[in-house]
């Protein structure tokens, strides 16, 4: 049984790999600083639905799908024509929300809005943890994008061995499903909750 304490400990820990690999998208809010230039410090600049931001001197900049480090490099390169050796810092002030479904053998099945870049333990924490009937060796993440295959995760490796590679990052519309026997009935257990294109073939029995 996954205790609330264990969920909170793992969920609130630092996730350096995810932070480095996080890709910006609409709804993220950035804090951008150019050291020594007060007029080039923007605390709350939201990524627009078109995936772009507007920054003084630089103008429009495409940030959709890029990391904070890549945006830093882009801004540094663009500002060099105006500033000698610009020192640019780009931080994520607020992450966009990610809607995920957590279904099956969890305390509170449902749809959850996560306020930061989300991973498996974040979703399980929101759903109150798994029940004693959950097949913890075969937790399935079903992606909302056509062509993406479902991912089967051994939750025990994460909880008992600290294998953080099992704490998969989640994307908008993903389904986290915990069965009681390692098998999924898509029509009766998942379809009533969702709409859209989900790839559920090739699931292991």
Tens of pLDDT, residue by residue over 58-69, are 999 999 989 999
Confidence of residue 73 (pLDDT cuts 50, 70, 90): very high
Residue 59, classed as helix, strand or coil, is strand
Encode pLDDT of 119-135 as tens digits. 899 999 999 999 999 98
pLDDT at 21: 61
Q: Taking the CB of residue 163, how many other CB atoms lie within 10 A of it?
A: 14
Residues of the chain with pLDDT > 70, as a percent, come to: 75
Instruction: Determine phi and psi for 149, rounding to 5 degrees.
Output: -80, 150
Whether 200 has a pLDDT exceeding 50, the answer reads no
Residue 159 to residue 157: CA distance in whole angstroms: 6
Average pLDDT over residues 22-42: 91
DSSP assignment of 86-133 = --EEEEEEEPPPEEEEEEESBSS-EEEEESSS-BHHHHHHHTT-B-TT
Average pLDDT over residues 37-48: 92
Q: Taking the CB of residue 65, how many other CB atoms lie within 10 A of it?
A: 10
Average pLDDT over residues 170-179: 87
Confidence of residue 114 (pLDDT cuts 50, 70, 90): confident
Paired sense of beta strands 29-34 and 88-94, if any: antiparallel
Whether 90 has a pLDDT exceeding 80, the answer reads yes
pLDDT at 150: 82
Residue 97 to residue 132: CA distance in whole angstroms: 29
Residue 96 to residue 86: CA distance in whole angstroms: 28
Beta bridge partners of 98: 114
Confidence of residue 171 (pLDDT cuts 50, 70, 90): confident
Confidence of residue 193 (pLDDT cuts 50, 70, 90): low
């Amino acid at each position: 049984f996954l205790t609330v304490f264990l969920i909170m400990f793992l969920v609130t820990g630092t996730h350096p790999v995810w932070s480095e690999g996080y890709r910006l998208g609409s709804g993220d809010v950035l804090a951008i600083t150019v050291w020594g230039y007060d007029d080039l410090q923007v605390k709350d600049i939201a990524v627009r639905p078109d995936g772009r931001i507007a920054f003084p001197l630089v103008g429009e900049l495409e940030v959709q799908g890029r990391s904070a480090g890549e945006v830093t490099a882009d801004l540094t390169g663009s500002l060099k024509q105006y500033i000698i050796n610009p020192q640019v810092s780009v931080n994520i002030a607020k992450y966009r929300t990610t809607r995920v479904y957590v279904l099956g053998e969890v305390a509170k099945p449902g749809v959850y809005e996560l306020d930061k870049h989300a991973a498996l333990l974040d979703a399980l924490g929101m759903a109150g943890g798994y029940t004693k009937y959950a097949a913890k060796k075969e937790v399935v993440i079903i992606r909302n994008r056509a062509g993406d295959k479902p991912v089967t995760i051994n939750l025990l490796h994460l909880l008992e061995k600290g294998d953080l590679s099992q704490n998969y990052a989640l994307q908008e519309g993903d389904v986290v499903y915990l069965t009681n026997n390692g098998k999924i009935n898509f029509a009766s257990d998942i379809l009533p909750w969702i709409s859209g294109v989900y790839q559920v073939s090739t699931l292991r029995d």
